[in-house]
């Protein structure tokens, strides 16, 4: 409520801060570009090492061995008593027992070095971009999502934040880097060229603290769904690759070089499932927060406005995906396609509905 | 070392595994997937078959897909429930497809027969799915976790050790430990059986039930909904009765007795606008100060109604939806007698509030000759008049107001019985006034200025300007239910997705050499790294209470395996050529 009250005073736009913000965003793009090249270098150097783990695991002899309890996981308890019981883990029946690839650097020391440089540059670019977003917010004295330009720069900041958070939590996600940064550059490119809007104030319907909740969680959900979608796409590629190997096929050298360094298809699948499942409740909340806001702004909590409709469609599509994973015959690739369709719905809701369909959710100057 | 066992793909969630017996069953209440075995004969057979199909996961999935697909056209084609004029425009420009769309109900997708059938089927399916699942779950809660399967080594997570402690003591310790960890645990034969994570199932059921409640609340709200509009000029009042409204819509089951009794007076409307920049003219402050009374004899209360902050009175909500200007106009007849003095609400034509309206003087006016006549004045109002831009206002605030008046006299046709809009003038029986040059009389007035009607026919004065606000009064019962259900759905969903339901068994038996062999195994609904972690943790604690005994010669008690195929204890006992691989791991699920 204080936020709304604060913005209610028609504050003069601070041109100076807006210019600083623009400079910061352009600088962030420059640093992301450097990071992009560092990731490329990581993949290039990584290609020198020949890893054939997936192939090896899928040979007939290896498969026979894999039938037995697969991996010994961990030592239980502390080290006080020497001989502690060890837990033996079996993988699911019918699951391929394929080890994860080593990552883009492929075990190559120089590749790894470039990978680390790339991550450092990503952190730097993220900080610069974050400052850009904050400067933008300060220049308009409100949250930075009053129009599509602001939405775009905030969205990619959050997507990178999700990636860096996963890295900080020691999750094995460095393989995401190149794919993520490529699209972040694309997103920022579109933002500064097509979508740029000079700073301005919000229309009165956008003055609500539910808006802050609704839009911030929408952006976060989009960023996380996005990370999940990248995982899903890679899963589909890796799964085809594994299937081909299993059936005795011989994938091309480029495909082999890239795929061997990615995690196993089952790991990628699990990664995207976890990511999607983790934000699905938040997405549900986002829609509800939107309904509460709509109720206070327009007198109805649900009115099938195009934006609402597409949020609903996205929600149902993700529910389909979660159901599919619990339905025999729909697991694996089919569920993955559903996840991609669901993310497609999210993207359409953002770009398509804003640009092609008119509704109550109008942004100032697109 | 390969086993001849065949792995069936698409493991079904519920089929008890031959190897695990009851142990692997009922880890969830998801419906069994049945093969489409067609019923042999009879109506009942068919009905049962149909019902089974409808309540299967596969059909639920299909219906969900259909709902999302079906919602798409409504977002792309104009909808009559949202914007009637857009639909009319569409009909005009798309003469070929419009009739087809009409046939398919595409102008009102969300109330069309086909869309309703999809979601009603989905909700029937949902209810048909929930009821048996709830019963099954209640049964599981009243029963006990199933006993240990014969071969614990077959489970996804397994560990074993030997100890000098007596088997009973081990089991007792295990029971205590598991109970302390909030497992539901009991002793079954030579093993302790335990289960945890029921909240997942509760969450899942709560989520699906909440969906039903939410839809019911929404439908209820639509049926009993009412929505009306009232334009109120500053100083005027409104009381919530059907006849007070300018327009009114309601759901099929609404009755006028349902209207919440209240009344209010608009004291003042305040609007300020962005003065510069690309959004010049965009409203900033936009609020109505009102005094309202609940019920017939309530006491007066003052409040502000803003765009995002409606006034709530019982089930009713009062929203501020539009605003405009109402110039105060005084009309005098030839003798100087005031025959009209009122604020006339003008309707805005654009975002700078260029407005139009009509003044109608119906009785009391006599012309210069003393004959009774009616006066009609068509008016244009510009809150900000700028030289060189005479036909439209250039800013929405009252910066330099100008009222342009064109008076007529004669018969306004009010008494003909045909309903008339207060904003339109029927010019069929009226005559223009002429100015000195013989042209039609038409004048721009600033506040306080007066225009004289020719030949002593009287005068019209623009006295000042009031503002008006449009209020939308909405009553939609069931909103609280919808909100409560929505919140329940979120928590249910979170529990369902983040909690893992799993079982743990601890078996303690006397080995042939008199030493106790402890075996522990865990089974979850899905493959998760958390399960072995938890098992390891439990095993560690239990191990401290029942310390290891010296190795008996041939046994490698950890049961590790290497990939070259050398035989270890686990793998050798495990590879029983006659039993198929277990299918203990059904669906993916609760993992964070
Ligand atoms: C209104 C439509 C529905 C929606 C939006 C919906 C949504 C969901 C969601 C989001 C989940 C994921 C939670 C989880 O995995 O535990 C789920 C799970 C589940 N749903 Fe639905 N559902 C709907 C209808 C149905 C119907 C009709 C059935 C019965 C056939 C059903 C049965 C299940 C079951 C058994 C699970 C648990 C799956 C598991 O254990 O992993 N749902 N549902």
> Residue A106: its pLDDT value, please?
79
Is A5 part of the contact surface with chain B (CB cutoff 8 Å)? no
Half-sphere exposure of residue B281, counting CA atoms within 13 Å on the CB side? Answer: 12
The pLDDT tens digits of the residues spanning B267-277 come to 999 998 878 76
pLDDT of res. A268: 92
Contact list, A13 vs chain B (CB under 8 Å): 277
Q: Which residue of B has its CA nearest to A61?
A: B2
Rounded CA-CA distance B185/B178 in Å is 6
**pLDDT tens-digit map of B353-399:** 999 999 999 888 888 888 888 999 999 999 999 888 888 898 999 99
The Cα B247–Cα B84 span in angstroms is: 15
Percent of chain A at pLDDT exceeding 70: 80
Measured between alpha carbons, how far is A271 from B585 in angstroms, rounded to an integer?
A: 18
First to last CA, chain B: 36
Task: Tell me which residue has its CA closest to atom 43 in ligand 1.
Answer: A323
Contact, B531 vs A87, CB < 8 A? no
Cα separation, B580 vs B576, whole angstroms: 8
Provide the percentage of residues in chain B whose pLDDT is more than 90.
Answer: 43
DSSP state letter for B17 = P
Query: What is residue B16's predicted lDDT score, i.e. its pLDDT?
Result: 37
Listed by number, the residues of chain A in 301-320 with a beta carbon closer than 8 Å to a beta carbon of chain B are 301-306, 309-310, 312-313, 316-317, 319-320
- The whole-chain average pLDDT of chain A stands at 82
Q: What is the CA radius of gyration of chain A?
A: 23
Q: Is B502 in the pocket of ligand 1 (CB under 6 A)?
A: no
Instruction: Indicate if the pLDDT at residue A9 is higher than 70.
Output: no
Q: What is the ipTM of this complex?
A: 0.86
Query: Which of B211, B496, B587 gets mutated to test ligand 1 (max ligand atoms within 8 A of its CB)?
Result: B496
User: Would you call B304 an interface residue with chain A, using a CB distance cutoff of 8 Å?
Assistant: no
The residue ranking higher by pLDDT, A256 or B39, is: A256
Chain B CB contacts of A84 under 8 Å are 539-540, 543
At A52 the pLDDT is 65
**How many whole angstroms from B249 Cα to the centroid of ligand 1?**
36
pLDDT tens readout for residues B18-45: 456 667 667 777 776 655 555 566 788 8
Mutate to test the interface with B, among A89, A213, A319 (most CBs of B within 10 A): A89
- The answer to whether the Cβ–Cβ distance between A94 and B558 falls below 8 Å is no
A163-166 LR contacts (CB < 8 Å, sep 24+): A163/A122, A163/A227, A164/A122, A164/A123, A164/A126, A166/A227
The helix (run of H) or strand (run of E) holding residue B570 is: helix B569-574
Sign for the pseudo-dihedral over CA of A284, A285, A286, A290 = positive
CB atoms within 10 A of CB B84: 12
Confidence category of residue A36, pLDDT binned at 50, 70, 90? very high
B83 near A CB under 8 A: no
User: Which residues of chain B lie closer than 8 angstroms to A74, CB-CB?
Assistant: 532-533, 536
- Work out the minimum CA distance from B181 to partner chain A, whole angstroms: 16
* Structure tokens, A164: 């860096």
Residue B275: what pLDDT? 81
Q: Which residue has the tokens 């700028």?
A: B386
Residues B97-147 have pLDDT tens digits of 999 998 998 998 988 899 999 999 999 999 999 999 999 999 999 989 988
DSSP B568: -
A67-104 tens-digit pLDDT: 333 333 333 333 333 356 788 877 665 567 777 888 88
What is the residue extent of each domain of chain A?
A: 10-60+90-362
Express each pLDDT in B298-349 by its tens digit. 889 999 998 878 899 988 999 998 899 999 999 998 888 999 999 999 999 8
DSSP one-letter code for B366: B
Summary mean pLDDT of chain B: 83
Q: Which of A357-361, B8-12, B286-290, B520-524 has the lowest mean pLDDT?
A: B8-12
Per-residue pLDDT for B555 more than 50? Answer: no
Lowest mean pLDDT segment, chosen from A58-62, A265-269, B201-205? A58-62
**Structure-model confidence comparison of residues A216 and B31, the more confident one:** A216
B31 lines ligand 1 (CB under 6 A): yes
Partner A contacted by B158 (CB < 8 A): yes
B157 near A CB under 8 A: yes
Nearest to B582 among A84, A93, A302 (CB): A93
Closest atom of ligand 1 relative to the B133 alpha carbon: 35
Calculate how far, in angstroms, residue A273's C-alpha sits from the geometric centre of ligand 1: 15
**Is it the case that residue A116 has pLDDT exceeding 90?**
yes
Instruction: Assign A365 to helix, strand or coil.
Output: coil
- Which pLDDT belongs to residue B574? 38
Q: Which of residues 438-457 of B touch A (CB under 8 A)?
A: none
Q: How far is CA B592 from CA A277, A278, B14, B495, B530, in A?
A: 8, 7, 23, 11, 9
Tokens 């017996």 sit on residue: B21
Min Cα–Cα distance to chain A from B111, Å = 11
Query: Does A366 reach chain B within 8 Å, measured CB to CB?
Result: no
Distance of residue A37 Cα from the nearest chain B Cα, in angstroms:
33
Choose the weakest-confidence range: B101-110, B179-188, B369-378, B565-574: B565-574
- Across A227-255, average pLDDT: 90
In chain A, residues with a C-beta closer than 8 Å to the C-beta of B33 are 327-329
pLDDT digits (tens, 9 = 90+) for B396-444: 999 999 999 999 998 887 766 666 777 888 888 888 888 888 888 999 9
């Amino acid at each position: 409520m204080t936020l709304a009250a604060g913005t209610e005073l028609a504050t003069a736009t601070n041109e100076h801060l807006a210019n600083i913000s623009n400079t910061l965003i352009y600088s962030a793009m420059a640093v992301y570009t450097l990071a992009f090249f560092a990731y490329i270098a990581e993949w290039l150097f990584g290609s020198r090492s020949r890893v054939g783990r997936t192939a090896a695991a899928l040979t007939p002899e290896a498969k026979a061995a894999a039938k037995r309890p697969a991996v010994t996981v961990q030592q239980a308890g502390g080290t006080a008593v020497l001989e502690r019981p060890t837990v033996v883990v079996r993988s699911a029946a019918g699951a391929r027992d394929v080890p994860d690839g080593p990552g883009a650097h492929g075990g190559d020391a120089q590749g790894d070095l470039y990978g680390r440089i790339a991550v450092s540059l990503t952190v730097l670019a993220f900080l610069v971009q974050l400052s850009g977003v904050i400067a933008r917010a300060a220049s308009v004295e409100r949250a930075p999502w009053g129009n599509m330009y602001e939405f775009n720069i905030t969205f990619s900041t959050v997507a990178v934040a999700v990636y860096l958070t996963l890295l900080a939590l020691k999750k094995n996600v460095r393989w995401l880097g190149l794919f993520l940064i490529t699209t972040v550059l694309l997103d920022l490119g579109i933002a500064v060229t097509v979508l740029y809007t000079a700073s301005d104030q919000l229309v009165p319907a956008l003055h609500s603290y539910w808006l802050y909740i609704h839009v911030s969680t929408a952006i976060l959900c989009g960023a996380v769904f996005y990370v999940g979608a990248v995982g899903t796409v890679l899963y589909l590629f890796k799964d085809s690759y594994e299937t081909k190997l299993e059936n005795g096929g011989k994938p091309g050298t480029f495909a082999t070089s890239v795929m061997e360094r990615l995690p196993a298809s089952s790991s990628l699948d699990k990664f995207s499932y976890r990511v999607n499942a983790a934000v699905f409740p938040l997405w549900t909340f986002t829609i509800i927060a939107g309904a509460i806001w709509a109720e206070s702004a327009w007198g109805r909590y649900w009115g099938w406005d195009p934006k609402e409709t597409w949020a609903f469609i996205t929600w149902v599509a993700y529910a389909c995906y979660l159901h599919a994973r619990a339905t025999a015959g729909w697991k694996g690739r089919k569920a993955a396609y559903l996840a991609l369709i669901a993310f497609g719905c999210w993207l359409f809701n953002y770009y398509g509905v804003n640009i092609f369909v008119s509704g109550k959710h109008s942004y100032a100057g697109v | 070392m390969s086993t001849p066992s065949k792995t069936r793909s698409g493991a079904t969630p519920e089929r008890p595994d031959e190897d695990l017996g009851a142990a692997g069953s009922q880890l969830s209440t998801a419906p069994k997937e049945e093969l489409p075995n067609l019923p042999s004969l009879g109506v009942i057979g068919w009905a049962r078959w149909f019902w089974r199909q409808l309540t299967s996961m596969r059909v639920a999935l299909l219906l969900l897909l259909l709902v999302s697909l079906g919602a798409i056209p409504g977002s792309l084609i104009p909808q009559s429930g949202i914007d009637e004029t857009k639909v009319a425009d569409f009909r005009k420009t798309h003469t070929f497809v419009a009739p087809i769309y009409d046939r398919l109900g595409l102008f009102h997708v969300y109330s069309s027969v086909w869309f309703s059938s999809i979601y009603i089927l989905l909700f029937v399916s949902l209810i048909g799915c929930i009821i048996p699942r709830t019963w099954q779950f209640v049964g599981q809660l009243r029963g006990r976790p199933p006993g240990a399967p014969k071969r614990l080594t077959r489970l996804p997570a397994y560990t074993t050790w030997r100890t000098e402690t007596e088997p009973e003591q081990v089991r007792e310790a295990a029971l205590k430990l598991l109970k302390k960890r909030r497992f539901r645990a009991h002793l079954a034969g030579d093993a302790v059986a335990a289960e945890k994570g029921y909240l997942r199932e509760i969450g899942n059921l709560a989520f699906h039930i909440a969906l039903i409640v939410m839809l019911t609340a929404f439908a209820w709200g639509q049926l009993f909904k009412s929505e009306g509009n009232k334009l109120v000029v500053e100083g005027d009042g409104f009381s919530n009765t059907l006849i007070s409204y300018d327009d009114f819509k309601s759901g099929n089951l609404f009755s006028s007795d349902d209207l919440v009794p209240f009344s209010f007076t608009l004291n003042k409307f305040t609007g300020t606008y962005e003065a510069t920049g690309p959004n010049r003219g965009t409203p900033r402050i936009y609020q109505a100060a009102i005094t309202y009374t609940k019920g017939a004899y309530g006491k007066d209360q003052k409040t502000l109604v803003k765009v995002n902050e409606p006034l709530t009175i019982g089930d009713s909500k009062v929203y501020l939806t539009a605003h405009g200007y109402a110039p105060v106009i005084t009309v005098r007849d030839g003798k100087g007698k005031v025959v009209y003095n009122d604020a006339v609400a003008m309707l805005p034509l654009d975002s700078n509030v260029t407005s139009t309206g009509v003044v109608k003087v119906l009785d009391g006016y006599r012309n210069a000759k003393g004959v009774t006549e009616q006066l009609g004045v068509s008016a244009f109002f510009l809150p900000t008049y700028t030289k060189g831009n005479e036909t439209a206002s250039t800013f929405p605030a009252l910066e330099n107001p100008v009222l342009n008046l064109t008076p007529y006299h004669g018969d306004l046709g009010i008494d003909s019985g045909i309903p008339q809009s207060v904003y339109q003038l029927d010019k069929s029986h009226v005559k223009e006034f002429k100015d000195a040059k013989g042209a039609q009389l038409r004048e721009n007035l600033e506040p306080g200025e007066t225009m004289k009607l020719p030949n002593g026919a009287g005068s019209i004065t623009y006295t000042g300007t009031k503002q008006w606000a449009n209020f939308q009064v909405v009553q939609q019962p069931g909103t609280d239910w919808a909100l409560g259900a929505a919140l329940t759905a979120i928590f249910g969903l979170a529990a369902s997705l983040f909690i893992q339901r799993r079982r743990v068994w601890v078996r303690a038996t006397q080995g042939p050499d008199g030493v106790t062999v402890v075996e522990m195994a865990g089974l979850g609904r899905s493959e998760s790294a958390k399960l072995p972690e938890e098992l390891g943790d439990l095993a560690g604690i239990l191990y401290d209470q029942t310390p290891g005994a010296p190795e008996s010669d041939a046994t490698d008690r950890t049961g590790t395996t290497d990939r070259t195929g050398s035989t270890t204890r686990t793998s050798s006992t495990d590879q029983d050529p006659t039993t198929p691989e277990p299918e203990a791991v059904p669906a993916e699920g609760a993992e964070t």
